[in-house]
Amino acid sequence: MATFQSLPGFRDFYPDDLARRNHIFRLWRRTATTFGFAEYDAPVLEPLDLYKAKSGEEIEAQLFSFTDKGGREVALRPEMTPTVCRLVGAKANALKRPIKWFSIGEFYRYERMQKGRGRAFFQFNADVFGEPGIEAETELIGLLVQCLCAFGLTEEDYFVRLSDRNLWFYYLGALGLDDARIRAVLGAVDRYEKYGDDAFKGYAEQFGTIDPALKERVLAFLQIRSLAALEAVVAPLQDGRMSARLAEWRKLLGNLTAMGLERFISVDLGVVRGLAYYTGFVFEAFDRKGELRAIAGGGRYDDLVGKLSGTQLPAVGFAIGDMTFALLLEQRGLTPPLVTAADVFCVIGGEGERPAALGAIQSLRAAGFRVEYPFKELAFGKQFKAASEAGAKLAIIFGGDELARGVVKIRDMSDRSEREVAQAEVVDAVRDALGG
């Protein structure tokens, strides 16, 4: 007999696991709703070209892709952004602005597993479409922070690094670099934290060893960690585009400060978020201890909706992955205790009393109470123990003596007090006792 197990990188969710996952989703969903974001969903399977169009041919190696029975090249979605761009682009003219949407879904990437990374994982995605100004960034960074704080995480636990790809382009352009060189330098910036000077190897292979003076200025720029430091570097250049950009920075940081979020935000030009389609501000959330991979990441992508749907629409978005996030909660002891307590446990004297109990159980459940009872005949002692283990607040005793008088006993499990109630009034009595 062959035995089966889940595919590598895929997880089973037993009830305890699913309870934890649902708790996370519940708080994300509630938080997004309070920010006025509307939830959407879309197919898990998409045309392969949707991802090739966004990320190039190489992406296919990272996808669960195949040819379906109709000969279509398809792929399980590795991320939500192309899909949501398709949705929004198709109805852009009919949607009220700003468009604020979120989703929680499962994604699939054909990759090697690692801590905080599997082949199937969930992401919370939130995007704002149709808003070219920093109001969109304000809204999303505010949402990101609240999506983490809702679980009890504080500025001691994580922070959000805020950077700006536009500023990098303007700065490197002002230093005389062409577009290809700028991208190579940004690649080095992205890797600098991990590899130090070796990060510039890629640049050297393409364009020769980087000019030491240029490298100095790049390193100085990527080490900027405050608005004041940024202003000190940018102001002397007297570059119109950079000055305008700096004004945007002041507005955005002003907004975030007004929201009381400055303690979570760290100006950090060392973040550029890979190659990608980002066109302005980018941000990533990390644990303060620096032990985990990024918890969340996002930024502005003003060209992507147009590229994928033909309708130009500015956009900002971010995603939180469930795996690293769950690790962080666990590390900080913020995994919630599982609360699966019953409201009522019915103690049944014997098979003769069972019909009366079943009738009451059905009525109580119909009234919305969570009711448990033993399937098989059990001694009273066992039943009270079971009631206690079920976390029941009340026990209702269907005993022969009581039923003969048309009553049942309701026992408060916390103080062990008991009182008798007419059988016909059980639902009202429970509602009264539980305040429901």
Q: Which residues of the chain form contacts with RNA (CB under 7 A)?
A: 5, 7-9, 51, 55, 59, 62-63, 78-79, 81, 109, 111-115, 117, 194, 273-276, 293, 297, 349, 376, 379-382, 384-385, 387-388, 397, 399-402, 409, 411-416, 418
Two tokens at 184? 């190579």
- How would you label 248-280 residue by residue, b for 16+ Cβ within 10 Å and e otherwise? bbeebbebbeebebeebbbbbbbbbbeebbbbb
Backbone angles phi, psi at 266, to 5 degrees: -130, 115
Q: Which is nearer to RNA, 130 or 202 (CB)?
A: 202
Q: Least distance from C-beta 80 to RNA, angstroms?
A: 9
Q: Least distance from C-beta 242 to RNA, angstroms?
A: 25
Q: Which is nearer to RNA, 201 or 241 (CB)?
A: 201
Q: Which is nearer to RNA, 229 or 327 (CB)?
A: 327
Q: Which is nearer to RNA, 27 or 299 (CB)?
A: 299
Q: Which is nearer to RNA, 55 or 279 (CB)?
A: 55
Q: Least distance from C-beta 220 to RNA, angstroms?
A: 24
Q: Which is nearer to RNA, 93 or 415 (CB)?
A: 415
Q: Which is nearer to RNA, 216 or 412 (CB)?
A: 412
Q: Least distance from C-beta 388 to RNA, angstroms?
A: 4
Q: What is the largest CA-CA distance in the chain?
A: 97
Q: Least distance from C-beta 81 to RNA, angstroms?
A: 5
Q: How far is CA 211 from the centre of its chain?
A: 42
Q: Give the whole-angstrom CA distance, residue 293 versus residue 284.
A: 10
Backbone angles phi, psi at 167, to 5 degrees: -60, -40
Sign of CA dihedral 413, 418, 419, 425: positive
Q: Give the whole-angstrom CA distance, residue 295 versus residue 17.
A: 20
Residue with tokens 């408060």: 412
Two tokens at 341? 């307590």
Q: Least distance from C-beta 79 to RNA, angstroms?
A: 5
Cβ(184)–Cβ(211) under 8 Å?
no
Cβ(113)–Cβ(48) under 8 Å?
no
Cβ(379)–Cβ(387) under 8 Å?
no
Q: Least distance from C-beta 390 to RNA, angstroms?
A: 10
Q: In what order do the strands lie in the sheet with 65-67?
A: 45-47, 73-76, 65-67
Q: Least distance from C-beta 336 to RNA, angstroms?
A: 20
Q: Give the whole-angstrom CA distance, residue 102 versus residue 36.
A: 10
Q: Which is nearer to RNA, 230 or 299 (CB)?
A: 299
Q: Which is nearer to RNA, 217 or 293 (CB)?
A: 293
Neighbours of 317 (CB within 10 A): 23
Q: Least distance from C-beta 274 to RNA, angstroms?
A: 4
- How is 113-151 classified by DSSP, letter by letter? -BTTB-SEEEEEEEEEES--STHHHHHHHHHHHHHHHTT
